[in-house]
Amino acid sequence: MPPTVVVFAPSPLLTVTIEDRAGVPDIHVHAGGQAVWQARMISSLGVPVVLCATLGGEAGDVLGHLLPSEGVELRAVPVDSRNGGYVHDRRDGDRDPIAEAPGSPLDRHEQDALYELMLHEGITHGTALLGGPNSDDVIPAALYARLAADLSRNGCRVAADLSGKRLDAVLEGGPFVIKVSHEELLADGRAENDDPATLVAAMRQLRAEGAGTVIVSRAAEPTLALLPEGLQDGSDVLEIRVPELTPAETRGAGDSMTAGVVASLVQGAPVREALRTGAACGALNVVRRGLGTGGAEAIRALAERVELSDWKK
């Protein structure tokens, strides 16, 4: 069985985007949401994905056709709750929201069914990536605590791209990768300011609470990565600089970075190489309008230009 990543998608979105094509509206309909974009990027790097999702309502019916793709196996829980979605107009170059609908909260039985599915697939395949729901009301943070702990106890490595109470929750499971933005650390009260030394202190606290590799994206500033204990060669904190590229879409770079790091580690890459690949995935994401997209050859070429250096106070 090839190395496979199981991606937790509690609330996939139906996305409709209106683009301009030679002065004529061009309508694009896709599946979206953090977990969907991450699954797409992981599969682009040649790692099979099992996507565990809930599908309900008319949006869920459409998503059932859109989500399966090459390298991505959909395992869905049918629910009475409704999937969310949005319609955005990008004809003038900006993303103008026309309508946005959050996903409905899952009831107790739906939560249990999704939990059981994710537990089974995670134990079967050995690596799980936990992302957040589209809306805070979809599932409670406590479910993440139980899921991360139960997966870890049963031999499944857990990675997470979360913040707030959900980040606090998954730390109980000892995740081997945690990715968070510096804005999220500030909002969560884990960092008082965006000074690198303050952020590094927050990263060390996350490691003390159970995390392995800790990655903090900082918008246009170099990403910071705290290496797991025992893997340091010099400083245990790295600065990651990506090649300068002209952005077409700045959203989703962090999600793609997480996906690239996890995919590389599953394939057996050393942590530093995985960080290069993840940074390249994030960099490529910004030059494309489709979130979580990018070709493996372009990612490899960009990875060779990613600079890793020891962080110095």
Confirm if 36 and 68 have CB atoms less than 8 A apart. Answer: no
Q: Do 145 and 54 have their domain in common?
A: yes
Q: Do 200 and 85 have their domain in common?
A: no
Q: Do 150 and 200 have their domain in common?
A: no
CA distance 50 to 273: 24
Q: Do 82 and 223 have their domain in common?
A: no
Q: Do 201 and 282 have their domain in common?
A: yes
User: Would you state the pLDDT for residue 313?
Assistant: 77
Q: Do 189 and 263 have their domain in common?
A: yes
Q: Which residues pair with 309 in a beta bridge?
A: 239
Prediction pTM value: 0.93
CA distance 93 to 168: 37
User: Would you state the pLDDT for residue 113?
Assistant: 97
Non-local CB neighbours of 20 within 8 Å, separated by 6+ positions: 26, 90, 91, 92
Q: Which two tokens mark 8?
A: 């937790």
User: Would you state the pLDDT for residue 71?
Assistant: 94
User: Would you state the pLDDT for residue 89?
Assistant: 95
Q: Do 152 and 57 have their domain in common?
A: yes
CA distance 76 to 54: 5
Q: Do 229 and 124 have their domain in common?
A: no
Structural domain boundaries enclosing 100: 1-156
CATH code of the domain in which 36 resides: 3.40.1190.20
pLDDT tens string 204-244: 999 999 999 999 999 889 999 999 876 556 689 999 999 88
Run of H or E residues at 298: helix 296-303
Q: Do 23 and 150 have their domain in common?
A: yes
Final residue in a domain of this structure, among 156, 185, 200: 156
Q: Do 117 and 57 have their domain in common?
A: yes
User: Would you state the pLDDT for residue 101?
Assistant: 93
Q: Is residue 164 in some structural domain?
A: no
User: Would you state the pLDDT for residue 257?
Assistant: 94
Q: Do 149 and 192 have their domain in common?
A: no
Final residue in a domain of this structure, among 156, 187, 204: 156
Structural domains counted in the chain: 2
Residues of the chain short of pLDDT 70, as ranges, are 1, 230-234, 248-250, 252, 288-293
Final residue in a domain of this structure, among 156, 189, 221: 156
